Chain A
Amino acid sequence: MAATTARTTATTSSAALGEDDELPALSNAEILRYSRHLILPDVGLGGQRRLKAARVLLVGAGGLGSPLALYLAAAGVGQLGLVDFDVVDVTNLHRQVLHGTRDVGRPKLESARDRIADVNPHVELTTYETRLTSANALEIVGDYDLVVDGTDNFPTRYLVNDACVLLGKPNVYGSIFRFEGQASVFATEEGPCYRCLFPEPPPAGLVPSCAEGGVLGVLPGLVGTIQATEAVKLILGAGDPLVGRLLLIDALRMQFRTVKVRKNPACPACGTREIRELIDYEQFCGVGAEPEGAALAELTPAELAARQARGDDLDLIDVREPHEWEIARIPGARLVPLATVPEAMSTIDSGRDAVVYCKGGTRSARAVRQLQAAGFRRVWNLAGGITRWSDEVDPTVPKY
């Protein structure tokens, strides 16, 4: 774990949320900067000092983490922790407004540090260039007053939840998919936790990621600012936080509604408390488990290109969606979207070699397994999909 702390202000505080007389004072420069907060009755000088004393951990510097980091820094949260291990990719930029075009290829934590220092030099930023794991989560989370979950996968969401429950730290939750979002506040003393809402994760691969299923670029802005609002409210002790309520956001219909989340007495995390330590969350979520059945036969893009050049008789099957087919395709392929593979089996000649591809190789692996289960033997998965094809064989094929 590499933790790096930048002190960009002369005045720093290690005070936890506490009595007003324990709170750090504001410099004249801070008083001027936060003047619109200071004249706001529910914030005022005391509230702004609470924000300065607050220590907030952001898990993820991506879609949700971007507005979170920007707004919490701008609001004057004194100590921000940021956990991420990714580098900026150009496909991040339609939603991850913490990073810019010139940052492509840089670690996200580096561009985040530059941006946050510009937004508010009074913020003390600690960066953790690591994946949050069962081995480091309690140590990292333990240094903060509350956690904001901006992760993009189920294992880390359950990890963040359990770490927060074990340590008694509120978990400000947000999640997005395509045009819809969810937000809530979990793991407060009296409130429910993420496991009360979803006791177990879906099987790995059932719910597509944003990389597979797409996401509206402004949606994490919408949901992330709701999380930032809840974090600020928790620090201030103002208003009614989303404790015991799940906010459902539908950007297409532009409908917001809340449903109740009750603390489940049988919840192994916050109810019976039988979870006393962090577990293996990859295993809990079925990630990385070896699929059952025969080994998956793979072909690299270079091998496919060589076979095509030789004039081999191949059935090249693209299992992506029609809108992806419109963006790019490999010459000679035919489109059979994954959901239609079962009904398309009658069109596949089991005596002929078939090569299946998708964008990155995950969906096509699923199709290959379906075909293998149905008795097809001469079927290969294109390793890395059309993305690797573009990288290694034909760069004129656009990547998306």
Chain B
Amino acid sequence: MSVTLNLPTVLAKLAGGQRSLEAEGATVGDLVSDVAARFPELAPRLRGSDGSPYPYVTFYLNDDDIRLSGGFGAPVRDGDEVIIVPAIAGG
């Protein structure tokens, strides 16, 4: 299944400058693993060393927070969109 992952600018530089990545997998966790394998520098910014998501990086699957729909186990379908939103604090 091919899903689009949208990265904020701050993470795009760790993915060769790409803001949008196509990733393969059946769950959001699969997509993250796929991208992490292709961009090792990006991997630690997306998930902890135990493979779980961080509480300060929110993943949206089609505009919904995956925390309330199974976390990295949330299933994805072809054409879905994932947005990655890290916490920022500037003001």
Q: Which residues of B contact A182 (CB under 8 A)?
A: 85, 88
Contact A62 B91 (CB under 8 A): yes
Number of A-B residue pairs, CB cutoff 8 Å, is 93
CA distance A184 to B56 in the complex (A): 16
Q: A198-B56, A202-B56 are in contact. Are A178 and B10 (CB under 8 A)?
A: yes
- A374 part of interface (Cβ distance < 8 Å): no
Contact B9 A178 (CB under 8 A): yes
- A372 part of interface (Cβ distance < 8 Å): no
Q: A198-B55, A199-B55, A202-B54 are in contact. Are A176 and B65 (CB under 8 A)?
A: no
Contact B65 A63 (CB under 8 A): no
Q: Which residues of B contact A63 (CB under 8 A)?
A: 90-91
Contact A248 B90 (CB under 8 A): no
Interface size (A, Cβ < 8 Å)?
Answer: 44
- B27 part of interface (Cβ distance < 8 Å): no
Which residues A126-158 have CB closer than 8 A to chain B? 149-154, 157
CA distance A243 to B48 in the complex (A): 30
CA distance A182 to B10 in the complex (A): 14
| Per-residue interface assignment for chain B, residues 75 to 89, with 1 indicating a CB less than 8 Å from any chain A CB and 0 otherwise | 000000001011111
- A8 part of interface (Cβ distance < 8 Å): no
Q: Is the interface of B mostly helix, strand, loop or mixed?
A: mixed
CA distance A199 to B65 in the complex (A): 12
Contact A177 B65 (CB under 8 A): no
Q: Which residues of B contact A248 (CB under 8 A)?
A: 83, 85
Q: Which residues of B contact A259 (CB under 8 A)?
A: 60, 63-65, 83, 85
B8 to chain A, nearest CB (A): 6
Contact A177 B88 (CB under 8 A): yes
Q: Which residues of A contact B85 (CB under 8 A)?
A: 182, 246, 248, 259
Q: Which residues of B contact A153 (CB under 8 A)?
A: 89
Contact B10 A177 (CB under 8 A): yes
Contact A154 B8 (CB under 8 A): no
- A220 part of interface (Cβ distance < 8 Å): yes
- A215 part of interface (Cβ distance < 8 Å): yes
**CB-nearest residue of chain A to B88:** A177
CA distance A41 to B37 in the complex (A): 56
B55 to chain A, nearest CB (A): 4
A224 to chain B, nearest CB (A): 9
CA distance A202 to B85 in the complex (A): 12
Q: Which residues of B contact A176 (CB under 8 A)?
A: 88, 90-91
- A60 part of interface (Cβ distance < 8 Å): yes
Among candidates A200, A209, A252, residue contacting B90 with C-beta atoms closer than 8 Å: A209
B22 to chain A, nearest CB (A): 18
| Per-residue interface assignment for chain A, residues 186 to 209, with 1 indicating a CB less than 8 Å from any chain B CB and 0 otherwise | 000000000001111110000101
Q: Which residues of A contact B56 (CB under 8 A)?
A: 198-202
| Per-residue interface assignment for chain A, residues 30 to 72, with 1 indicating a CB less than 8 Å from any chain B CB and 0 otherwise | 0000000000000000000000000000001011110000000
Contact B54 A152 (CB under 8 A): no
Q: Which residues of A contact B91 (CB under 8 A)?
A: 60, 62-65, 149-152, 174-176, 210, 220
**CB-nearest residue of chain B to A153:** B89
CA distance A64 to B91 in the complex (A): 5
B48 to chain A, nearest CB (A): 11
Contact A202 B9 (CB under 8 A): no
Q: Which residues of A contact B19 (CB under 8 A)?
A: 253
- A307 part of interface (Cβ distance < 8 Å): no
The 10 closest A-B pairs by CB, nearest first: A200-B55, A177-B88, A152-B91, A199-B55, A202-B56, A210-B90, A198-B87, A176-B90, A64-B91, A259-B60
Identify 20 new A-B residue pairs, CB closer than 8 A, beyond the known A177-B88, A259-B83.
A63-B91, A65-B91, A150-B91, A151-B89, A152-B91, A154-B89, A178-B9, A179-B9, A180-B10, A180-B88, A182-B88, A198-B55, A199-B56, A202-B57, A202-B86, A209-B90, A210-B90, A250-B9, A262-B64, A262-B65
Which residue numbers of A lie inside 8 Å of B, CB to CB? Answer: 60, 62-65, 149-154, 157, 174-180, 182, 197-202, 207, 209-210, 213, 215, 220, 246, 248, 250, 252-253, 257-262, 264
